[in-house]
Amino acid sequence: MPHNYLFLLPECILLFGVLTLLLVGSFAKHNALQIVGKGALVLLVACLLVAIVEANYTLVGGAVSSFMFFDAFSLLGRSAVFFFAIPALLLGMNWLTRKKFNRFEYPLLFLCSVLGMVLAMAASNLLMLYLSLELMAFPLYLLAAYKRFGQRSTEAGVKYFLLGAFMSAIFFYGIVLFYGVVGETGYAAIQTALESGTHITLLTIAALLCLSGLFFKMGAAPFHMWVPDIYEGAPTPIAAFFATVPKLAIVLILARLLLWPFAPLFLSWRFLIGGASVLSLVIGTFGAVKQTSFKRLMGYSAVAHAGYILLGLYNGDAASMRAVSAYLFLYLPIVFGIFALLLSLYKERGLAEEITSVRGMARSHPVEAFLTAILFLSLAGIPPLSGFFAKYYVLQVAVEAGAWPLVLIAAICTVISVIYYIRPIGLMYFEPEEESVAHFSRLPYAILLIAAVFAVGIVWIPLEPLWTFLALSSQVLVL
């Protein structure tokens, strides 16, 4: 069915655009970064528009070929990835321009990673998924080491690469086991094989290996060790990218895997998800309490939030998907806002990373301090901000699933998390007059403002398109 290939239009645009920009960048003289960066932005916007238009079409059958499947879920997931990639790219470009870092590889690596993510969304075959995830991961390893003359960045890149390669091998071993038992790596075939119940132990182990690989990429315990180190070592706008878009993509891919091929293993993977959730929550929350560096704090916070998201997946039905989508949609802008703040704190050479660097910001930058306070409170889950409602959705779904011990732990972790989220607010407002090191240029300020407005307004202003998106994203269950 030739017309189905139109669904690959954004990916094609992206691919050919990347190759073109590579050529252009190689031959441009001084302003290579500017040209390539603006070109990358144009590409992303174009892909987003095409993806949104395509998301309105339902496809008969849905399969493009034997290894890609476009249904409402993957189409919308793709749009979401493009949408959230735009501010990440903007932040990175803004930073590189200010630092006069004239290498043009950043936007290209960025786009390659995004391409990998959207291909993985639509995958209906484990091998396709593996290849796409590798395409996503390799640019991330390079991006982590982007500041290649800096010791920390190189260390972060190497760490990420080694751990990532190892976990990819484990993921691949799971695929190999599936192939060995089932003879195919397509999702439908795997689902049938799991339903039939033959060699179920081996298949369960294979599923476990695959899920472990995904937990690693998500930053969920017990595979979370890389998160604080890489967030701290990577350049800040790249850490912002790590904290948002790949997480969104991996969570959606995880949901797809759990609810389509691995659906017959519900009782087994439910136990796994619950365990990973509790571990992530506890390790993330308690790890963050003693942190003095903002980026490490965000790293542990990311682990804790991975715990909340996994808790939302506990029940594995449409309501769970709605809760997880809502959580991601409400949580990601806040992370963008906080990284916008981090990009505006300076010391003598470069960015200041200590939490104490926000001292006295309420005197010098009252508006920005207020917006930042809103964002931190929203992360902590304090009503009436959006972060609370995100946690409420997830915990409500979990309680309905009967997992109230997990909910108890999550609620306790929420209270403990207030300790470290309130600390910057206390430093901003209570510390005596001091020369504040904050300096907000236009783009970070804009992102901070939008994120804070989002954190307050999204709940209290009825928005129809958003709720349609969430309702549709619950259609993960195939056929």
Q: Which of 352, 354, 375, 373 is nearest to 362 (CA)?
A: 373
Rounded CA gap, 394 and 388, in Å?
A: 10
Q: Which helix (H) or strand (E) holds 66?
A: none
d(Cα 274, Cα 282) in Å, to the nearest integer? 12
Q: Which is nearer to other proteins, 131 or 466 (CB)?
A: 466
Other Cβ atoms within 10 Å of 159 Cβ, number: 18
Binding residue (CB under 8 A) for other proteins from 124, 414, 436, 473: 414
Nearer to other proteins, 388 or 440 (CB): 388
Q: Nearest approach, Cβ of 249 to other proteins (angstroms)? A: 24
Report the SS3 class of residue 184: coil
How many residues does this entry show for the chain? Answer: 479
Helix (H, G, I), strand (E, B) or coil at 351: strand
Give the DSSP letter string of 223-238. Answer: S-THHHHHHHHS-HHH
Q: 97 or 396, CB closer to other proteins? A: 396
- Residues with Cβ within 8 Å of 214's Cβ and at least 6 positions away in sequence, in order, are 171, 250, 253, 254, 257
Does 460 engage in binding with other proteins (CB under 8 A)?
yes
- Pick the piece of the chain touching other proteins (CB under 8 A) from 93-101, 153-161, 305-313, 462-470: 462-470
Out of 408, 434, 439, 457, the residue judged to bind other proteins by CB under 8 A? 408
User: In the bound complex, what is the minimum distance in angstroms from residue 375's beta carbon to other proteins?
Assistant: 12
The single residue among 165, 418, 450, 478 that binds other proteins, judged by CB under 8 A, is 418
Say which residues have a Cβ less than 8 Å from residue 135's Cβ, sequence separation at least 6. 112, 113, 115, 116, 119
Answer for which of 352, 377, 438, 476 binds other proteins (CB under 8 A) is: 377
Q: Is 322 in the site for other proteins (CB under 8 A)?
A: yes
Contact between 101 and other proteins per CB under 8 A: no
- Minimum CB separation from other proteins for residue 368, in Å? 14
CA 472 to CA 176: how far, in whole Å?
Answer: 33
CA–CA separation, 355 and 420 (whole Å): 10
Q: Of 94 and 325, which CB lies nearer to other proteins in the complex structure?
A: 325
Does 411 help bind other proteins (rule: CB under 8 A)? yes
How far is the C-alpha of 158 from the C-alpha of 160, rounded, in Å? 5
Q: Where are the strands (E) in 182-244, listed by range?
A: none
Find the part of the chain contacting other proteins (CB under 8 A) among 97-105, 189-197, 246-254, 457-465.
457-465
Q: Which of residues 378-407 bind other proteins (CB under 8 A)?
A: 382-384, 388-389, 392-393, 395-396, 399-400, 404, 407
Q: How far is the CB of 419 from other proteins (least distance, A)?
A: 8
Q: Which residues touch 147 (CB under 8 Å, ≥6 apart)?
A: 153, 154, 235
Q: How many residues bind other proteins (CB under 8 A)?
A: 38
Closest CB to other proteins among 28 and 382? Answer: 382
24 vs 456, which CB is nearer to other proteins? Answer: 456
CB of 463 to other proteins, least distance (A): 9
Choices 37-45, 130-138, 191-199, 320-328; region in contact with other proteins by CB under 8 A: 320-328
* CA-to-CA dists, residue 230 to 87, 90, 153, 163, 214, angstroms: 20, 21, 8, 11, 17
**Distances from the Cα of 63 to the Cα of 116, 188, 267, 456, angstroms:** 19, 11, 28, 40
Under rule CB under 8 A, which residues in 425-454 are in contact with other proteins? 425-426, 429-430
Establish if 462 lies at the interface with other proteins (CB under 8 A).
yes
Task: Indicate whether 326 belongs to the interface with other proteins (CB under 8 A).
Answer: yes
* Binding-site ranges for other proteins (CB under 8 A): 322-323, 326, 362, 366, 373, 377, 382-384, 388-389, 392-393, 395-396, 399-400, 404, 407-408, 411-412, 414-415, 418-419, 422, 425-426, 429-430, 459-460, 462, 467, 470-471
